[in-house]
Amino acid sequence: MYWRPFSAVLALASTSCLVSAASQSYSWKNVKIGGGGGFVPNIVFNPSEQGLVYARTDIGGAYIMNADESWTPLLDFADNDHWNYWGTDALATDPVDTNRLYLATGMYTNSWDPNDGQILISTNKGQNFTVSPLPFKVGGNMPGRGVGERLVVDPNSNNILFFGARSGNGLWKSTDFAQTWSKVETFTATGNYVPDPTDTTGYNSDPIGLAWVTFDPTSGESGSPTPRIFVGVVSNGTQENIFVSEDAGSTWNAVAGQNNTYLPHKGVLSAAEHTLYISYSNGAGPYDGTLGAVMKYNITTGEWTDITPVSGSDLYFGFGGLTLDPQRPGTIMVAALNSWWPNGQIFRTTDGGQTWTGIWEWVDYPEINYYYTYDDTSAPWLGANATTTALTTQVGWMMEGLSIDPFDSNHWLYGTGETIYGGHDLLKWDLGDSRNVTIESLADGVEEESVESLISPPTGPSLISAVGDDGGFVHYDLDTPPANMFQNPTWSTTVDLDYAGNDPTNIVRIGNGDSSSGKQVALSTDSGNTWSQDYGAADNVSGGKVALSANGDTVLWATSGNGVQVSQYTNSFSAVSSLPASTTAIASDKRNDSIFYAASGSSFYVSTDGGTTFSVSGSLGESTSPVKIVVHPNITGDVWVSTDQGLFHSTDTGSTFTTVPGVTEAWAIALGAPATTGGYPALFAAANIGGVGYFRSDDAGTNWAQINDASHGFGSVSSNVIAGDPRVYGRVYIGTNGRGIFYGDIAGAAPPPSSTAPISSSTSKPVSSSTSSVPVSSSAPISSHSSSAPSSAPSSTPTSVASQWGQCGGTGWAGPTACASGSTCTVQNPYYSQCLPQ
């Protein structure tokens, strides 16, 4: 759910042929956080093929569920030219030819995304796609992104699709499997509702448009277009918002007798009951809703019935997710879109809405009966260990996606602002007062964090991350979900991190002040396991970049609105008047405690007095926006700066710079372990070197190898952050905006044992847990897998044997294909084979 608006046009021309860089095969995996970490607007079960399930996210693309209930991402190929593919505003799985999958993608309908949207078409369940461009924008991360689905396949004639557009663009139809589209001119409603007409950015003032299109399959027969089609529109007040066609979309009428007080979020047809169920909220979502309703429309009689589960003072939310059990006519579930207090709420009826029960109910205030057991085994940081107010809303919030498995009445999944929950004992809900269903975190493989900063210090844990919404994590084991997010102080978003070069268990982090007022600087002396507030920071100062001096005593802070400030020994921060307020890149020397660096425009600044005063040193040529300064971990004054004009290097503490030939633009950069003992550190760069990509140089920028490939585009390059591992040659961490953190190793290189073992001497630090291929619960083996999408991932010779429950094959899999004795490699689906016990 966390996102950063884009302020500049990001798409850049790239050429497929690189001028000066060779390529090197890398194997890429997600650093496992395990709980999703972002909004999952919907989860869609195919109604005809058991076990075929997709989830869509707002900023991290779409996923397919594997047989072991883990998820595989489908859009990791999206690169800087196609970053808006990760905004997935609608998803349709074909009920006839179940191999067909359609995604309506595009990130923003305002200026933050310069590109129009597109329908991505797959005929193989998302292994690869063709693109049907649309003549308008699609808003996967816009308000109202949880309504729907607004993209649907006609169940009687699957060449036909309808798509309900945003921004006043109306209803569109394809008759050739989504390859070409034309506007349905007879459908004139476009949706009058905008969340905030005064928003000059265009983000909250753009019409959300059409909410959903729902076929009534019983009105027609296989082979002919379905005659009866309902459409819900995001409008209220004077405009009707539920429409129907009885002639396959040629003509349309408002459904008589409707109540258009609220916005219709979901319209789900019960074929057996010949009834349309609709959830309504007074906001478009996903964060809002203070009133709402649930209605049903009897198609036979034209009768509307208000079946809202609660009323009066108990009704303080709108309704989002709505699902029914097709095997049990009359069984419906609906989610409160946002019940922030005392908990998220879900209701279930088995009699078509005459009576409802909640997943929790008041006894006598403040006493509550909880009719669920909570299980966050696969992402412990989500639940009991989470301490922010929002995270203790255990059942969830932003609940637009709620789905009962059409083949299994006990199996359900729902999306929240944070993760995917669900379970396998849903029928226990119908056991009266003794009911107790288990809510499980079921987002293994969904990695949706928006990553703000990464550090890989030379001692202690391999990786420490700063993320949006979920604070940040110490990754003691790259393949095991962390037990905790950063705590005490707990902020929802951490924006930057640094470590002290001479004493690298000393870490600083800063927050952006979005959740709690108060001080937004914290320090750790034990590699991020425990923290203390830096009381030198003023209240309400937040954001920006931070640097920690080599000995860890001085914090330099380029705040987002209060200029650059410095503090030694946690004394009060004072202004650094010799640096411009526009300073965006700062760094500490990693060896000399007195030296800091800063850059703004084309000027490079150095301080030799612990950040108290800076003076202009060397020049960064024609640069207008320096992005990142990195400093050699072992050599004072050896500095790299990435800018919009390329990559600059100084070996004399910033007095003079050389430009790196062939690098025309550079974003995130990092230094990692050298190729040979005593050699120059490996240099990693997200850069334009004859094309935008991710590169490594082992000789300080003379020669480069491209390390990303056609299967790993990492989305918007300017949003991403990089860390090089100082202990493992070749290893790099890439933090994305919506697909979590990846770590890459040179393909075929055996990772050394130090890669995951904590080295810190601290005894209070959590012990790293066992490898991810070991089941963490007896009922649901969790297994790791590489992210994969197109079939062009590099293959490599198996170098080892996968353990029981581990992955042993699948599209794009470059790991071991042999299984440990006692288990057999079993194909689960095209993406995923697993070592199962014999």
Ligand X SMILES: *[C@@H]1O[C@H](CO)[C@@H](O)[C@H](O)[C@H]1NC(C)=O
- Residue 337 binds ligand X (CB under 6 A): no
| Cβ contact 133:75 at 8 Å | no
Nearer to ligand X, 264 or 681 (CB): 681
Q: Which of 58, 444, 526, 638 does the annotation list as catalytic?
A: 58
- Residue 247 binds ligand X (CB under 6 A): no
- Distance in angstroms (rounded) separating the CA atoms of residues 9 and 511: 26
Peptide bond into 504 cis (omega under 30): no
Stretch that binds ligand X, among 13-21, 341-349, 520-528, 587-595 (CB under 6 A): 587-595
Nearer to ligand X, 221 or 306 (CB): 306
- Residue 821 binds ligand X (CB under 6 A): no
- Residue 595 binds ligand X (CB under 6 A): yes
Q: What is the CB neighbour count within 10 angstroms for residue 300?
A: 8
Task: State the minimum distance, in angstroms, from the CB of residue 237 to ligand X.
Answer: 2
Reading the block at residue 172, the tokens are 């569109």
Task: State the minimum distance, in angstroms, from the CB of residue 181 to ligand X.
Answer: 19
Stretch that binds ligand X, among 337-345, 378-386, 563-571, 654-662 (CB under 6 A): 378-386
| Cβ contact 706:746 at 8 Å | no
- Residue 681 binds ligand X (CB under 6 A): yes
Write down how long the chain is.
838
Beta bridge partners of 524: 507
Nearer to ligand X, 622 or 652 (CB): 652
| Cβ contact 296:275 at 8 Å | yes
Nearer to ligand X, 344 or 633 (CB): 633
Determine the number of helices (DSSP H) and then strands (DSSP E) in the chain: 0, 64
Which residue number is nearest to ligand X in terms of Cβ? 237
Nearer to ligand X, 12 or 538 (CB): 538
Stretch that binds ligand X, among 369-377, 421-429, 655-663, 708-716 (CB under 6 A): 369-377
Out of 592, 718, 719, 804, point to the residue binding ligand X (CB under 6 A): 592
- CA nearest neighbour of 151 among 81, 96, 221, 231: 231
Task: State the minimum distance, in angstroms, from the CB of residue 534 to ligand X.
Answer: 15
| Cβ contact 407:50 at 8 Å | yes
Nearer to ligand X, 284 or 558 (CB): 284
- CA nearest neighbour of 628 among 565, 583, 680, 690: 583
Task: State the minimum distance, in angstroms, from the CB of residue 239 to ligand X.
Answer: 8
Q: What is the per-residue binding string for ligand X in 531-560, x denoting contact by CB under 6 A?
A: --------xx--------------------
| Cβ contact 713:738 at 8 Å | no
Out of 247, 370, 661, 761, point to the residue binding ligand X (CB under 6 A): 370
**What does R_g of the chain's alpha carbons equal in angstroms?**
27
- CA nearest neighbour of 812 among 825, 799, 829: 829
Out of 72, 169, 282, 565, point to the residue binding ligand X (CB under 6 A): 282
Nearer to ligand X, 530 or 824 (CB): 530
- Residue 273 binds ligand X (CB under 6 A): yes
Nearer to ligand X, 489 or 681 (CB): 681
- Residue 483 binds ligand X (CB under 6 A): yes
Q: Which of 325, 376, 469, 477 does the annotation list as catalytic?
A: 469
- Residue 612 binds ligand X (CB under 6 A): no
- Residue 301 binds ligand X (CB under 6 A): yes
Nearer to ligand X, 111 or 239 (CB): 239
469 is catalytic: yes
Task: State the minimum distance, in angstroms, from the CB of residue 676 to ligand X.
Answer: 10
Q: Give Cβ neighbours of residue 442 (< 8 Å, ≥ 6 apart).
A: 69, 378, 413, 420, 421, 422, 423
3-state secondary structure 562-592: CCEEEEECCCCCEECCCCCCCCCEEEECCCC
**821 CB-contact burial (10 Å; exposed 0-12 / middle 13-18 / buried 19+):** exposed
Out of 48, 158, 385, 651, point to the residue binding ligand X (CB under 6 A): 385
Reading the block at residue 791, the tokens are 């079939």
Reading the block at residue 739, the tokens are 């697909």
Q: In one letter, which amino acid is 713? A: G
- Residue 275 binds ligand X (CB under 6 A): yes
Out of 16, 198, 200, 300, point to the residue binding ligand X (CB under 6 A): 300
Nearer to ligand X, 541 or 802 (CB): 541
Out of 15, 20, 50, 130, point to the residue binding ligand X (CB under 6 A): 130
Task: State the minimum distance, in angstroms, from the CB of residue 438 to ligand X.
Answer: 8
79 is catalytic: no
- CA nearest neighbour of 396 among 447, 337, 450: 337
> What sign does the CA torsion over 153, 157, 158, 161 have?
negative
- Distance in angstroms (rounded) separating the CA atoms of residues 810 and 830: 6
| Cβ contact 452:735 at 8 Å | yes
Q: In one letter, which amino acid is 571? A: N
- Residue 380 binds ligand X (CB under 6 A): yes
Stretch that binds ligand X, among 52-60, 150-158, 231-239, 705-713 (CB under 6 A): 231-239
- Residue 352 binds ligand X (CB under 6 A): yes
- Residue 128 binds ligand X (CB under 6 A): yes
Task: State the minimum distance, in angstroms, from the CB of residue 12 to ligand X.
Answer: 23
| Cβ contact 227:252 at 8 Å | no
**431 CB-contact burial (10 Å; exposed 0-12 / middle 13-18 / buried 19+):** exposed
- Dihedral-angle region of residue 350 (phi above 0 means left; psi in -120 to 50 means alpha; beta otherwise): alpha
How are beta strands 210-215 and 182-183 bridged, if at all? unpaired
- Residue 634 binds ligand X (CB under 6 A): yes
| Cβ contact 232:224 at 8 Å | no
Stretch that binds ligand X, among 147-155, 198-206, 370-378, 777-785 (CB under 6 A): 370-378
Q: By CB under 6 A, name the binding residues for ligand X.
A: 127-128, 130, 236-238, 259, 261, 273, 275, 282, 293, 298, 300-301, 352, 369-371, 373, 380, 384-385, 436, 483-484, 517, 539-540, 592, 594-595, 608, 633-634, 671, 673-674, 681, 726, 766, 791
Give me the active site residues, please: 58, 469
